[in-house]
Structure 1
Amino acid sequence: MNLKHIQAVAFDLDGTLVDSIPDLAAAANAMREHLGLPPLDAERIKSHVGDGIASLVHRAITDERHAEADGPLWERGYRFFVQHYRGHLCDLTTVYAGVRDGLGLLRARKLPLVLITNKSERLAVPLVEELGLRDHFSLILGGDTLAEKKPSALPLLHACQVLGIAPKELAMVGDSPNDVAAARAAGSVAIAVSYGYADAATLGADLTIGSVAELYDLMKND
């Protein structure tokens, strides 16, 4: 696929740039223990990730994708989860192979990079700071930065407005249905990573890549 027209690239965070499941699972199980619940397998918690911390807490408490925990129980769990996770953001979280090189190459080509994640901004920003990725991004939008989050088009459209580009000139790189749906809704290019938390073959993206570093060659103008 020809990506020479792309003027900026947006990236999802969890499952795209970093593997944060070990720390998310540790926080979820610490919360469950705090609430008197038995631990869940990390793979089970992985299946609950993708719609932000608030949703993850509901799912980690109920162990169901579409159920909601009792209000007071959720509030206790949410407060504990955020406090625990904020203190252990990068204990076990790792940056995927090819990410640092890929971001560096894109920046060298003067392409603005945007982070668009459903993780709350107050957790996403310190996470990328601690991992040494913050300086790559011109703009960071968390799940609570705007009135809507992915799969809404709003974060992508907002990024385009800030950067002064058309939505069709933005590529959204992610690993989940939310990323592809947001790109479709905005009229942007949807790119999936093959190594993320979802099966890339089921996402219906315009293009699937095995490494962020692959984007450099795809976007060359020469």
Structure 2
Amino acid sequence: MSIKAYAFDLDGTLVDSIADLARAANAARADLGLQALTEDIVERFVGDGAASLVARTIAGDISAEFTGTALQQQGLVAFNKHYLAGLSIATRFYPEVQATLATLHERGYPLAIVTNKPERFTLPLLRELGVREHFDLVISGDTLAERKPSALPLLHVAEKLGVNPGELLMVGDSINDVLAAQAAGCPVVVVSYGYGSDVESFNADHIVQRFSELLEFVDA
């Protein structure tokens, strides 16, 4: 495998943000007169952007879709307010992430973020975490016309970084990451510790238990 650049998912891959997402989602539910959900339930709803998260948390149902109803719009406004007020209260990097990113950066590899998280949250969160400078490109869920599992974000990253899709390694934790990579013709590695369940069934090129294993896999 000849890897010349890396693309990383954010939530569930680089950082554990469930506590802050659940806090904001439950604050929005409280504004709507609804009872709080557990963090485990909110975790199941993460991965398809803020609007989907709001629709699912309002309904308490992973199959709920954001259709723009008045209640959903009200919930989204409330979620935006509460989440922006506390993007990094409890959000933390997973073990070995910072050191591994620093190593890749020092080796001169172009690094990108490809997340379904909206830009209004992604960019300030990266700044608050102190890693914005590591990334040459940040593609959020609303940066382009399509988001993961579409191939478009990864094809855009490959073009901007000047590499072939087959030379861009996607690292994520969800089926959306795998489907996007496969559609774009990129190799894909899945972390075992993220928010995705049954990752063995995703048919990724490799599964890592620890983030630092990424270096061993690529250097092999």
Which band: TM-score by shorter chain? over 0.9
Name the CA distance, whole Å, in 1 between partners of 2:78 and 2:102. 36
Q: CA deviation at 1:46?
A: 0.4
Query: Alpha-carbon deviations, 1:17-45, whole Å to 9, x = none?
Result: 00000000000100000001111111001
1:65 to 59, 62, 70: 62
For the 8 Å contact 1:191–1:205, the answer to whether it is kept is yes
Matching residue of 1:208: 207
Matching residue of 2:166: 168
Query: Alpha-carbon deviations, 1:165-196, whole Å to 9, x = none?
Result: 11000110000000000000000001000100
- TM-score (norm: length of structure 1): 0.95
Once the two structures are aligned, what percentage of the paired residues are identical?
50
1:67-146 residue pairs with structure 2 within 5 A? Answer: 67-68=64-65, 71-146=69-144
The one-letter amino acid of 2:95's match is A
Q: CA deviation at 1:157?
A: 0.2
Q: CA deviation at 1:207?
A: 0.3
Matching residue of 1:219: 218
Q: CA deviation at 1:220?
A: 3.0
Name the CA distance, whole Å, in 2 between partners of 1:57 and 1:190. 28
Q: Equivalent residue of 1:219, what SS?
A: helix
Q: Equivalent residue of 1:172, what SS?
A: strand
Report which stretch shifted further, 191-200 or 19-28.
191-200
The one-letter amino acid of 1:202's match is S
Matching residue of 1:51: 48
Query: Alpha-carbon deviations, 1:133-162, whole Å to 9, x = none?
Result: 111100000000000000000000000010
The one-letter amino acid of 1:138's match is D
1:21-32 residue pairs with structure 2 within 5 A? Answer: 21-32=18-29
Report which stretch shifted further, 82-91 or 192-201.
192-201
Q: CA deviation at 1:203?
A: 1.9
Q: CA deviation at 1:211?
A: 2.3
Q: Equivalent residue of 1:208, what SS?
A: strand
Q: Equivalent residue of 2:138, what SS?
A: strand
Matching residue of 1:16: 13
Structure 2 unaligned blocks of 5 or more: none
Match status 1:40 vs 2:40: no
The one-letter amino acid of 1:215's match is L
Q: Equivalent residue of 2:219, what SS?
A: coil
The total of aligned residue pairs comes to: 218
Q: CA deviation at 1:201?
A: 1.7
Q: CA deviation at 1:217?
A: 2.7
Q: CA deviation at 1:218?
A: 2.7
Query: Alpha-carbon deviations, 1:86-124, whole Å to 9, x = none?
Result: 010000111100100110111121110000000001101
Q: CA deviation at 1:216?
A: 2.1
Report which stretch shifted further, 207-216 or 157-166.
207-216
Report which stretch shifted further, 64-73 or 93-102.
64-73
Report which stretch shifted further, 24-33 or 64-73.
64-73
The one-letter amino acid of 1:209's match is V
Name the CA distance, whole Å, in 2 between partners of 1:134 and 1:211. 22
Name the CA distance, whole Å, in 1 between partners of 2:59 and 2:25. 11
The one-letter amino acid of 1:9's match is Y
Name the CA distance, whole Å, in 2 between partners of 1:66 and 1:171. 30
